[in-house]
């Protein structure tokens, strides 16, 4: 597929997707979401790819869903048109997805970052859910994922006032894993993807699945899922290799089996 709104690059075993609508600060219109979904599906199916980085420009990761595209929609367009479906596909990527956020991550941009598994941000990043200023509310996780990550009080403040968090506050609030200098952002995200890429792919998949369950169910159910996935690692050759390598004081050589 030829892409018009994203740029793709492969660095080692890491796929890098750059959102590329600079004149609109990477506003997420239907075409961007469709192309991003397609790219993630392609990377998911590629055995050479271990992790994916999603990034934007220095000024904007994404300034939100495209307001101009949404402006004329009515209730029926939004609900019956199933506007949410393509967005949900992004959160279902099976491989680890790292958001490398510089500049604005607002509205749907902040929600897109939160759909990723890990968020790294540059020191100029700004996160916010300003939908209240447009007379609407977040619709792709900005009330749910945000509240689980930063807690009710800060999520309420952000969602009810539209106030943005800078990088330092985002890190303090556990919204991001780490803040890095802007000039190193994508390199750091790729490096992180490569560190993950050196592990066993099937076991990484199980670990991702287990952590995600923590956000979707009760502690009791989550612990059961974790235990089953832990047992499942014992069905892999890589688990055997990992423990043997430890005993033999050498690095493991995982075969992704």
Q: Which residues lie near ligand DAK (CB under 6 A)?
A: 24-25, 27, 63-68, 83-84, 87, 104, 106-108, 111, 130-131, 134, 139-140
Q: Compute the least distance from the CB of residue 163 to ligand DAK, in Å.
A: 13
Q: Is 108 a catalytic residue?
A: yes
In this complex, which beta carbon is closest to ligand DAK, that of residue 85 or of residue 195?
Answer: 85
Residue pair 40/91 in contact (Cβ under 8 Å)? The answer is no
Q: Compute the least distance from the CB of residue 106 to ligand DAK, in Å.
A: 4
- Residue 6 pairs with which residues in a beta bridge? 19
CA distance 189 to 194: 9
Q: What is the largest CA-CA distance in the chain?
A: 65
- Residue 119 pairs with which residues in a beta bridge? 99
Catalytic residue among 24, 27, 39, 65: 65
Q: Compute the least distance from the CB of residue 110 to ligand DAK, in Å.
A: 8
In this complex, which beta carbon is closest to ligand DAK, that of residue 27 or of residue 158?
Answer: 27
In this complex, which beta carbon is closest to ligand DAK, that of residue 34 or of residue 245?
Answer: 34
Q: Is 131 a catalytic residue?
A: yes
In this complex, which beta carbon is closest to ligand DAK, that of residue 79 or of residue 217?
Answer: 79
3-state DSSP call for residue 115?
helix
CA distance 191 to 100: 12
CA distance 64 to 130: 9
DSSP conformation class of 183? G
Catalytic residue among 111, 142, 155, 210: 111
Catalytic residue among 131, 142, 155, 210: 131
CA distance 199 to 50: 9
Cβ burial of 38 (10 Å; 0-12, 13-18, 19+) is middle
Nearby residues of 92 by Cβ (< 8 Å), 6 or more positions away: none
In this complex, which beta carbon is closest to ligand DAK, that of residue 45 or of residue 137?
Answer: 137
CA distance 240 to 35: 39
- Pairing state between β 14-19 and 60-62: unpaired
> Could you give the residue numbers annotated as active site?
65, 108, 111, 131
């Amino acid at each position: 597929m030829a892409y018009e709104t994203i740029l793709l690059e492969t660095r080692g075993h890491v796929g890098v997707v750059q959102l590329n609508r600079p004149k609109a600060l990477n506003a997420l219109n239907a075409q961007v979401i469709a192309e991003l979904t397609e790219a993630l599906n392609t990377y998911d199916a590629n055995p050479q790819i271990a992790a994916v980085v999603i990034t934007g420009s220095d000024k904007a990761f994404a300034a939100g869903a495209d307001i101009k595209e949404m402006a004329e929609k009515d209730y029926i367009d939004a609900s019956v048109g199933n506007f949410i479906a393509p967005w949900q596909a992004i959160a279902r990527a099976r491989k680890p997805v790292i958001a490398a956020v510089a500049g604005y991550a607002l509205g749907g941009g902040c929600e897109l970052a939160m759909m990723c598994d890990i968020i790294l941000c540059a020191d100029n990043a700004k996160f916010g859910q300003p939908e209240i200023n447009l007379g609407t509310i977040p619709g792709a996780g900005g009330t749910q994922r945000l509240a689980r990550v930063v807690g009710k009080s800060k999520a309420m403040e952000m969602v009810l006032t539209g106030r943005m968090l800078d990088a330092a506050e985002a890190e303090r609030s556990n919204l991001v894993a780490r803040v890095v200098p802007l000039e190193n952002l994508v390199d750091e995200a790729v490096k992180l993807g490569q560190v993950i890429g050196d592990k066993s792919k099937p076991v990484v998949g199980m670990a991702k699945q287990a952590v995600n369950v923590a956000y979707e169910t009760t502690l009791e159910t989550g612990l059961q899922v974790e235990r089953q996935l832990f047992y499942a690692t014992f069905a892999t050759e890589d688990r055997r290799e990992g423990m043997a390598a430890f005993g033999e004081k050498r690095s493991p050589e995982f075969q992704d089996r």
